[in-house]
Amino acid sequence: MQKLSSWFYRMSGLPLLLVAVLVFIFFMVLVLPNMAGQLGEITDVDVSPDTSFIYSSADLYEMAEAYGEEGRAYYIYSRFTFDVAWPLAYMFFLVVATSYLYRDYFAGSNWKLVNLLPLAGGLFDFLENSAASLVMYRYPLETPVVATLAPVFTFIKWVVIVLSFAVLMIGLLLKGQHLIKTLKHR
C-alpha cells in the first residue's frame, strides 16, 4: 500500500491534476445526467440501488420487479459499461487531487495513505454493481446472500466517497492556508 500511495504522490503533478479535473467535469456535466435519465425512461421508476444510501434486500427485489425484464436488462448492461467508466473517472479525480493536495503533508506517517481512500470507494462501487446486477439477472429467483450484501456495499461505497470528498475539501483548505501564508511572507 505504501508503494502504491507513494507512486500516486509522485505522479500527481499539476498537468495530471488538470486532466483529472477535466475528465471529472466531463462526466458530471455531460455523461451522468444522460445516464440517470435513461434508466428512468426505460423503467418509469426513479429509484436505483446506486443512488440510494440505505435500502434493504426487499427493496432491491421490489426494484427488480418494478424495472421489468427490459429495465433489468438495461440496468445490468449499464452497470458493466457506463458504471465501470464512472467509478474509474471519480477515483482518478479523487486520487490525483488528494495526492496533489497532500504531497507536502504527513511525511513518514501512515496518514499519507489517505490518497488511497477513493480506491476503496471504487471497489465497493464495483461490488455493489456486481451484487445488484446478479440479483437483477436472477430475478424472480432469489439470491439471498448477494441481495443482503448489495445494500451493505452501497452504504459503504457512499460513506467512503463522502469521506474522500471531505478529505479533498480539507486538503483544499490546507493548500489555501499555505498559499495565504506564502503570499503574506513575500
Long-range contacts of 137-145 (CB under 8 A, 24+ apart): 137/72, 137/76, 139/61, 139/64, 139/65, 139/72, 140/64, 140/65, 142/61, 144/57
pLDDT digits (tens, 9 = 90+) for 75-118: 999 999 888 999 999 999 999 999 999 998 887 888 999 999 99
Residue 91 Cα distances to 33, 53, 84, 134, 155, angstroms: 19, 19, 11, 24, 17
* 124, three cell numbers: 465497493
Instruction: Choose between 20 and 181: higher pLDDT.
Output: 20
Domain boundaries, the chain: 2-184
Residue 75 confidence (pLDDT):
93
Per-residue confidence band for 165, with pLDDT thresholds at 50, 70 and 90? very high
pLDDT averaged over every residue in the chain: 93
Is the separation of the CB atoms in 96 and 16 below 8 Å? yes
pLDDT digits (tens, 9 = 90+) for 36-76: 778 778 888 888 898 899 999 999 999 999 999 999 999 99
Helices (H), the chain: 2-11, 14-26, 32-43, 57-79, 82-102, 117-138, 144-184
